[in-house]
Structure 1
Amino acid sequence: MAAGRTEKRARDVMHEGVQCVGEHETLRTASQMMSDLGVGALPICGEDDQLKGIITDRDIVVRCCAAGKDIDRTTAGELARGLVWVDADADLDEALFRMEKHHVKRLPVIEEHRLVGIISESDLAKELPDTKLAEFVHRVYALD
C-alpha cells in the first residue's frame, strides 16, 4: 500500500483501554467479557501480562461449541493463535501491511512489551480515505 502513504502512527489510530482475558480463563468468561464490553474479540494475556494471542467470538463458536468442547472447561489460551501485532510507533502503513498479510481484522498494538491498544476495521474506517479503506478490505478478505 505504498500509494497514498500516511504520516499517522499505530498509536494515533488504535482504540485505547483494551482489556485482556487471561490465558487460563474459560471461554464462558471470555464470551461474557465480550458481551459486557460490546466487542467481538479479546486479546489473551498470560500471567506475565504479555500478549499470547487473540480470541474472537467466531473462534468460540467454531473451535469450541461446534467442535463439541465444553465452554466451561476450555480456556482462552487453548484457542490462542495468530500472535500478530504492531509496535505503537509503527506507521499506519506497517499496521495495514501486517493486517493484510495475515488476513486479520484486529491488530494488537504493543509498546515496551505491553498491550496498549488495538486497531480494528472500524478504527481504520475513521482514518482512511474511502479508496484506501476499500483496497484494505479487499486484501484482508482475499484468499491467498
Structure 2
Amino acid sequence: MTTARDIMHVGAECVRTDQSAADASRIMAEQKVGALPICGPDDKIKGVVTDRDVVVKVVAKGRGAGTFPAGDLNQSEAVTIGADDSAEQAMSTMMQHQVRRLPVIDSGELVGMITLADVARSVSNPQTGQLVEALSID
C-alpha cells in the first residue's frame, strides 16, 4: 500500500497565525510553493493559505499584506491526512473537502504536504480522472 508518507513533499514549513500575509508570500516564494499550512501558537495546523488566497483576500481588496494577519486567511476547518494513511485515502479526503493540497501529520506534527499532482502520480488513471473532475467543480 502506498502511503501519504511515500508521496508527500517533506519539509513543509508553516506560516504562523500571528505572521502577515506578506510573510506567507515571502515564505512561499522562498520555498517555491503555492501554499503553506497555517499553524497556531500551539503548533497545530489551523488551515492552509494559498498564493491565490493572498491575491483575492488581501491584494485585490486593497488591504496591506504587511499588516493583514496570515491567521485570517485560514479556512473554517483544517483538513489534514495522516502520514500512514493510504494515497487513496488522501485522494478521497481531497475530493470530500474540495482541496488541492493536504498537510501531512504524524503524531500531531507537520511532516509534509501532498498536492493534487502527487496523488495523481500515485493512483491509477481512472482514479486520477475522478480526482481532477471532483476538484475542478467550482
TM-score by length of structure 1 reads 0.89
Q: Counterpart of 1:124? A: 119
1:23 paired to 2:13: no
Distance 1:85 1:58 in 2: 20
Distance apart, 1:129 and its partner CA:
2.8
The amino acid of 2:106's aligned partner reads: E
Q: Specify which of 44, 58, 72 is matched with residue 38 of structure 2.
A: 44
Q: Specify which of 7, 10, 14 is matched with residue 4 of structure 2.
A: 10
Distance apart, 1:48 and its partner CA:
1.8
Runs of 5+ unmatched residues, structure 2: none
How many pairs does the alignment contain?
A: 137
Equivalent pair of 2:90/2:119 in contact (CA under 8 Å): no
The amino acid of 2:100's aligned partner reads: K
Q: Counterpart of 2:86? A: 91
Which is worse superposed, 128-137 or 79-88? 128-137
1:133 paired to 2:128: yes
Q: Counterpart of 1:104? A: 99
Q: Specify which of 79, 100, 108 is matched with residue 113 of structure 1.
A: 108
The 3-state SS of whatever aligns with 2:36 is strand
The 3-state SS of whatever aligns with 1:131 is helix
Q: Calculate percent identity across the aligned residue pairs.
A: 39
Distance 2:91 2:50 in 1: 19
Q: Deviations over 1:118-142 (max 9, x none)?
A: 1102212332233321221011112
Q: Counterpart of 1:75? A: 69
Distance 1:68 1:132 in 2: 41
Which is worse superposed, 44-53 or 96-105? 44-53
TM-score by length of structure 2 reads 0.92
Distance 2:48 2:121 in 1: 23
Runs of 5+ unmatched residues, structure 1: 1-6
Equivalent pair of 2:91/2:119 in contact (CA under 8 Å): no
The 3-state SS of whatever aligns with 2:64 is coil
